Structure 1
Amino acid sequence: MAARNWNPWLRLLALPNESRAKTVLVAFLVSAVCAALVSGATVALRPIQTANRAAEEQARIAALVEGIPGMATLLEQSGGALSTVVINLRNGRAAADVTPATLDAALSDPGNWTALDAGQDLAGLGQRPDYAQVFLLRDGDSVSLVLLPLSGQGYGGRMDAILALRGDMNTIAGIAVTQHSETPGLGARIEETSWQASFPGTELRDDGGEMRFRVARGPASGVHEVDGITGATRTGRGVTQMVRFWLGPDGYGPLLDAIDRGEF
Structure 2
Amino acid sequence: MAGTDWNPWRRLLALPNTSRTKTIVVAFLVSAICAVLVSGATVLLRPIQTANRAAEEQARIADLVQRIPGMSALLEQAGGTLSTVVIDLESGRAATDISTETLETALADQANWTALEAGSDLAGLGYRPNYAQIFLLRDGDTILLALLPVAGQGYGGRIDAIVAVNGDMNTIAGIAITQHSETPGLGARIEDRSWQGSFPGTLIRDPSGQIRFNVARSTASTDYQVDGITGATRTGNGITNMMRFWLGPDGYGPLIGAIQRGEF
Q: TM-score normalised to the size of structure 2?
A: 0.92
How is 1:85-164 mapped onto 2 (pairs within 5 angstroms)? 85-164=85-164
Moved more, 79-88 or 221-230: 221-230
Moved more, 220-229 or 203-212: 220-229
How is 1:158-177 mapped onto 2 (pairs within 5 angstroms)? 158-177=158-177
How is 1:1-264 mapped onto 2 (pairs within 5 angstroms)? 6-264=6-264
Change (3 A) 1:105 1:217: same
Instruction: Report deviation, 1:4.
Output: 5.4
The code of the aligned residue for 1:92 comes to: G
The code of the aligned residue for 1:29 comes to: L
State the distance in 2 between where 1:23 and 1:184 align. 49
Q: Secondary structure at the match of 1:84?
A: strand
State the distance in 2 between where 1:189 and 1:15 align. 63
Change (3 A) 1:229 1:27: closer
Instruction: Report deviation, 1:104.
Output: 2.7
Kindly report structure 1 stretches of 4+ aligned residues shifted beyond 6 Å: none
State the distance in 2 between where 1:32 and 1:138 align. 53
Q: TM-score normalised to the size of structure 1?
A: 0.92
Q: Secondary structure at the match of 1:262?
A: coil
Deviations along 1:192-238, one digit per CA (max 9) or x if unpaired, are 11111111111111112111111122222222121222232222221
State the distance in 2 between where 1:217 and 1:13 align. 72
State the distance in 1 between where 2:52 and 2:120 align. 34
Q: Secondary structure at the match of 1:185?
A: coil
State the distance in 1 between where 2:156 and 2:183 align. 7
Q: Secondary structure at the match of 2:169?
A: coil
Moved more, 177-186 or 51-60: 177-186
The code of the aligned residue for 2:260 comes to: D
The code of the aligned residue for 1:245 comes to: F
Q: Secondary structure at the match of 1:202?
A: coil
State the distance in 2 between where 1:139 and 1:130 align. 28
Moved more, 22-31 or 141-150: 22-31
Report % sequence identity. Answer: 73
Instruction: Report deviation, 1:11.
Output: 4.2
Runs (5+) with no aligned partner, structure 2: none
Runs (5+) with no aligned partner, structure 1: none
Q: Secondary structure at the match of 2:128?
A: strand
Moved more, 151-160 or 179-188: 179-188
